[in-house]
Structure 1
Amino acid sequence: MIYVVVQFTCIIYLAINTQLANFSFLSYFLILLSTVVGGVAIINMKPGNLNIVPTLKDKHQLITIGIYTYIRHPMYSSVLLFCLALMLSNAHLIAQLVMLVLLVDLILKSSLEEKLLLNRFDQYQNYKKNTGRFLPKPLNK
């Protein structure tokens, strides 16, 4: 539960300190990209899988289609892209540290989820090997 508290504290801090007047093309692009990534992830996700706490539900299913073919945690990717856009509008030292805390928190939270998924799904190890955590893995030539 601490991961969720830290995650939302970071998001709220970055949102409150956003300077809309300082938004650049990059900030708008990152928000658009985060919306697309998050939206596609929700569309590809099974409705019963959605959970903000790093636990698995009884009927949890492993999703490896759509965006999940390339990224294991696209919802976290979406959060990171969105928060990066917010941080760039007011990139003072504390905002940068909060962004770093958010990144570390999501790495730890996703690691806990992955341990649970490895225990539940035999195919998860192979899936993990072939996909990136937050970004797609480079294609092998």
Structure 2
Amino acid sequence: MTGVWVLLAVLAVATVLGFLLRGRDGRVRASKPAAALPAQVRDLIDPSSPVTLVQLSTTFCAPCRHTRVILSDLASRTDGVRHRELDLTDLPEVAASLKVLRTPTTVAYAPDGAELLRVGGVPKRDVLVEALRPHLA
């Protein structure tokens, strides 16, 4: 009988953790000042665009494909937004310097390289558009 209670407790904890992690997915976070921007990222920023969305991905990341579709579509429909992608598979030092713990991670950069916001996981289109609106005026 003790085994059943242990099993139920483990399932309950796993369910709660799953809901917590799912709630964080796609949430837009305000940026924190970062140290020097890696050259690989700096080269992707479009100086003529108010916002460059840099998608940080890895080769075998399934949600990265979905994020690519969302961000490409958003950039094509929104004036002043560019979408670029950086594969971090062979660039662990870049991931460490940007403090990226999961892929996909989307970082919005201003033309001067300042980080505007960050989204972990697949971004929610409407939430991202609303968060970008002040930077596009």
Q: Same fold (TM over 0.5)?
A: no
Please, what TM-score do these two structures have when normalized by structure 1? 0.28
Higher-helix-fraction structure: 1
Structure with the largest fraction of strand: 2
Of the two, which has the highest radius of gyration? 2
